[in-house]
Structure 1
Amino acid sequence: MKKKILLVDDEKDILSLLTYIFEQQGYVVNSVLRGDEAVEVASAWEPDIVILDIGLPGLNGLEVCTHLVDMNIPVIFLSSHDQDDQIIEGLEVGGEDYVSKPFNYKELLLRVEKVLKRTRVFEGKVLVVGELKINFEQHSLHLRDAMISLTPTEFRILEVLAKSLHAPVSVQKILQTVWKNEDWIQGDELVKVNMSRIRKKLEEDPASPRYIINKWGIGYMLTDVKEQ
């Protein structure tokens, strides 16, 4: 089945170019010029991914992204070089990636496919990472053949990391998704304590983890360092 992509930009020339590029690659494309229209179309059309400009009329890109994350729709931001601070904020509220304008279309296509690949992995009932087997339907975790007991909160954290497999997830995004509050008091410590508990349960050496990696200044990542 062809993947559906929603393009959101207030410049018609960019929308026309992006529409041509993605249609040539076999995507089903829809496009809008306003942020409020993007939320309406995404809710009704349910795209597989959204390419989102930051500076938009109606709702800005950051506000739109918050709505899309609630719909479990992945977002890649388009940004100008003078929007670095907003891009960081965009990633914190749930954006998966960003591409700077003027963009290289091959790079954009690769980033879209990478995000869709991560999303497809998460859509399956079972995810295997190294010797870990995560069953999202049964909410179970096995290391080799042994079941690992996780609390509901710990398993939810693992789900958040699995959705961005092999890519770091910010502490802010973990807080917002798991605890529904990105401004939780002492939030960094809350995440750190839970990550420590998860590592003790699934890592042979929690001090030198194989699966839950801390990317300093960026966030936490689910991966398998032995396969890198």
Structure 2
Amino acid sequence: MSNDTPSVAVVDDDESVRRAIKRLLSSAGLKAETFKSGDEFLEMFDSIPSYRPACIVLDVQMPGLNGLEVQQRLASSGIPIIFITAHDEISVRQHALSAGAAAYLRKPFNDEVLIKAVRTALNLDPGP
């Protein structure tokens, strides 16, 4: 694997979810860094200009800044965001997608669906 493997930021307040997604992405040949909150992610994003993940897997409901607030703060970055949530509310889904989310997945999600969403967001899928 080359050093230019895309990095995916995984932002979720549930440690077991972060670990599972990191392991899953790693098994698909992708690098992942995990963050326990939107605040923690944005602190790194804002303080280290060279840190720019190729994609973000972002939980909707977290203590502190929620996923939609993080998405709003990153609106000008152009980084694709894939939302994951255990509480699928249609208004939240519509808001996230209308604000440019690459995908919106309900937990528990199928591993292959998440990998496909990430690969699509990163333009890694070869297509038909």
TM-score tier by shorter-chain length is 0.7 to 0.9
Q: CA deviation at 1:92?
A: 1.8
Larger radius of gyration: 1
Structure-2 residue corresponding to 1:6: 9
Number of matched pairs: 118
Q: What whole-Å deviation, never above 9, does each CA across 1:194-219 have from its counterpart, x for those lacking one?
A: xxxxxxxxxxxxxxxxxxxxxxxxxx
Q: Is the 8 A contact 2:87 2:106 kept in 1?
A: yes
> Which residue of 49, 60, 63 corresponds with 2:66?
60
When the two structures are superposed, what TM-score results if normalisation uses the length of structure 1? 0.49
Q: Does 1:99 align with 2:105?
A: yes
Bigger relative CO (Cα 8 Å, ≥ 6 apart): 2
Q: CA deviation at 1:81?
A: 4.6
- 1:29 is matched by which residue type in structure 2? A
Structure-1 residue corresponding to 2:75: 69
Cα RMSD of the aligned pairs, angstroms, is 1.5
1:47-196 equivalences under 5 Å are 47-117=53-123
Q: Is the 8 A contact 1:42 1:68 kept in 2?
A: no
Q: Is the 8 A contact 1:74 1:115 kept in 2?
A: yes
Which consecutive residues of structure 2, in runs of 5 or more, have no partner in the other structure? none
Query: SS where residue 82 of structure 2 aligns?
Result: strand
Which consecutive residues of structure 1, in runs of 5 or more, have no partner in the other structure? 119-228
> Which residue of 17, 22, 28 corresponds with 1:19?
22
- 2:74 is matched by which residue type in structure 1? L
Cα separation, 2, equivalents of 1:108 and 1:93? 20
Query: SS where residue 122 of structure 2 aligns?
Result: helix
Query: SS where residue 117 of structure 1 aligns?
Result: coil
Cα separation, 2, equivalents of 1:54 and 1:27? 22
Greater per-residue helix proportion: 1
Cα separation, 2, equivalents of 1:2 and 1:109? 15
> Which residue of 10, 18, 29 corresponds with 2:32?
29
**What's the % identity of the aligned pairs?**
31
Structure 1 runs of 4+ with >3 Å offset: none
